[in-house]
Structure 1
């Protein structure tokens, strides 16, 4: 299996399951505390791995602004907004709203990284987004987008843009040669410090729920949802570019929907099936190598 495909599948399978895992984090503990503990644990594991492997631990002084940017945008603000939105929105709608990240990555890659805006990527992102909206169309029925739900949707759009800007920061750091594990580890620790600092300012309770669901979900979110998935995703950023790697955010809700079918009794509808087909078609379009369609057209005229 090509490495890019393996990284892509691993990322969407893990992140697709984190939507379900997050439900075990809500209510018992302040969101900023849960997020802080999650990334403090994940970042410490990564930095400890560097120490065990006797690899360089301390980044160059000039890279700290990029690390701080990744910590703020990818590992604190982004997730705080997601947790807040989950309180106001159904989980399916949160997943759908998160899929807008792919389009934001395409536009920001053009704006900040001067990457060409390939029509196939843009078309595939739009096609996939329409498919995911169809997948979750039952969530949109019955006046879901009213009162506090509109505020939740706004929070998710802000979360997406925070994550997209963070992706630009990571891409810039990787282009500058910063090691991936060090960047991710220090970014997570920085994000955790920001979240725990916010919790302290707000006077939040730092105790955790000593129940199996909360602790197991915390470990899963830290070790798999944070370490494994982010390393896969950031590697994709370096290998494919932020526009195509960002399509992870389109396919992740599809996985979340399949998990919901197994564990939450989600009922498939004709619109849902059509949405899955569109989402997969958009995925194939975005993941196609650059120039593939031009080569196919040339063959057709040969």
Structure 2
């Protein structure tokens, strides 16, 4: 089950970056985010109501859903959508991989949970692999004002996502149903972004083109309802640190799509980066070697 959830997260979220790129244009970022999660939250609330899986939440739980909505379904995406106008979405997906480290840090801060020793090696291999994978693109981009702003916003958005992970873990430790908290958090995120758009005086009219609406549908249903549902379920099953490691594979999905549709060329650095990421993945999920009971007794004799 964990492998299925992990695969869903990697494939779906690995392709949402392209959908975010397709929404770049005249529609303000808060408006695009508002419509995305308006569709997602209404769809999820309807499904849960029809299947009688929508659970009641206390006022305190709704407050934490409000915080989760702002962190995961609101301000963090405002950062990502804005950054997409300054840096390419492939680079954004690389920066988003920092969620692994942010989750480990926040798990220690909020839950005093130390990650397993192999986590540090796995994260180091994965992040090194991603840097190696994109080294040629980073070198070609150079350091510019837009690059710094785009990178900074992507880091802020990633940290917001990590904070949302902590809130989701809090929900699940309280015995709250993941899809219910996701639905209400998405609705709160929708209202927050709607309020931001109103204050800014933005026009709520979406772009009626096929590409924009297609991207909106994909981001709402697959990227939000299915993707976040699978991810936060994974957070509850294996912990935020291990779940966030799936973000290290997102750029690989983006590169695969780019190979077929944009003619991406796999240079030596790309092959080496891929090898490092897959090795890190193996380290993270390989079970520690344990000795048979008899051998353990002999070692203590």
Q: TM-score range by the shorter chain?
A: over 0.9
* Contact residue 103 and residue 126 of structure 1 kept, 8 A: no
Q: Distance in 2 between matches of 1:294 and 1:271?
A: 36
Q: Distance in 2 between matches of 1:239 and 1:54?
A: 23
Structure 1 runs (4+) greater than 2 angstroms displaced:
54-58, 142-145, 293-296, 298-302
* Contact residue 104 and residue 115 of structure 2 kept, 8 A: yes
Instruction: Tell me which residue corresponds to 1:218.
Output: 216
* 1:206 counterpart SS class: coil
* 2:140 counterpart SS class: coil
* Contact residue 71 and residue 189 of structure 1 kept, 8 A: yes
1:98-247 map, 5 Å: 98-247=96-245
* Contact residue 169 and residue 235 of structure 2 kept, 8 A: yes
Instruction: Tell me which residue corresponds to 1:91.
Output: 89
* Contact residue 106 and residue 122 of structure 1 kept, 8 A: no
**C-alpha distance 234-299 of structure 1, shift in aligned 2 (>3 A):** farther
* Contact residue 62 and residue 184 of structure 2 kept, 8 A: no
Q: Distance in 2 between matches of 1:87 and 1:144?
A: 16
C-alpha displacement at 1:62, in angstroms?
A: 2.2
Superposed CA deviations along residues 18-50 of structure 1, whole A, max 9, x for unmatched, are 111111101131111011110111011111112
Q: Distance in 1 between matches of 2:65 and 2:169?
A: 12
Q: Distance in 1 between matches of 2:196 and 2:82?
A: 14
Q: Distance in 1 between matches of 2:10 and 2:54?
A: 30
- TM-score (normalised: structure 2): 0.94
- Give me the CA root mean square deviation: 1.8
Which shows bigger deviation, 190-199 or 61-70?
61-70
Unmatched 5+ stretches in structure 2: none
Q: Distance in 2 between matches of 1:83 and 1:295?
A: 50
Q: Distance in 2 between matches of 1:287 and 1:40?
A: 36
Q: Distance in 1 between matches of 2:227 and 2:261?
A: 22
Instruction: Tell me which residue corresponds to 1:75.
Output: 73
Instruction: Tell me which residue corresponds to 2:21.
Output: 23
* Contact residue 92 and residue 139 of structure 1 kept, 8 A: no
- How many residues in Structure 1 have an aligned counterpart in Structure 2? 297
**C-alpha distance 259-295 of structure 1, shift in aligned 2 (>3 A):** farther
C-alpha displacement at 1:174, in angstroms?
A: 0.9
Instruction: Tell me which residue corresponds to 1:283.
Output: 281
C-alpha displacement at 1:115, in angstroms?
A: 1.5
* Contact residue 55 and residue 177 of structure 2 kept, 8 A: no
Q: Distance in 1 between matches of 2:295 and 2:30?
A: 55
Q: Distance in 2 between matches of 1:144 and 1:299?
A: 56
C-alpha displacement at 1:295, in angstroms?
A: 5.0
* Contact residue 40 and residue 224 of structure 2 kept, 8 A: yes
C-alpha displacement at 1:169, in angstroms?
A: 0.6
Superposed CA deviations along residues 242-291 of structure 1, whole A, max 9, x for unmatched, are 000011111111111111111122111100000000011111111224xx
* Contact residue 47 and residue 57 of structure 1 kept, 8 A: no
C-alpha displacement at 1:293, in angstroms?
A: 3.8
Return the match for 2:52 from 46, 51, 54. 54
Q: Distance in 1 between matches of 2:167 and 2:181?
A: 11
* Contact residue 90 and residue 139 of structure 1 kept, 8 A: no
Instruction: Tell me which residue corresponds to 1:14.
Output: 12
Q: Distance in 2 between matches of 1:293 and 1:85?
A: 43
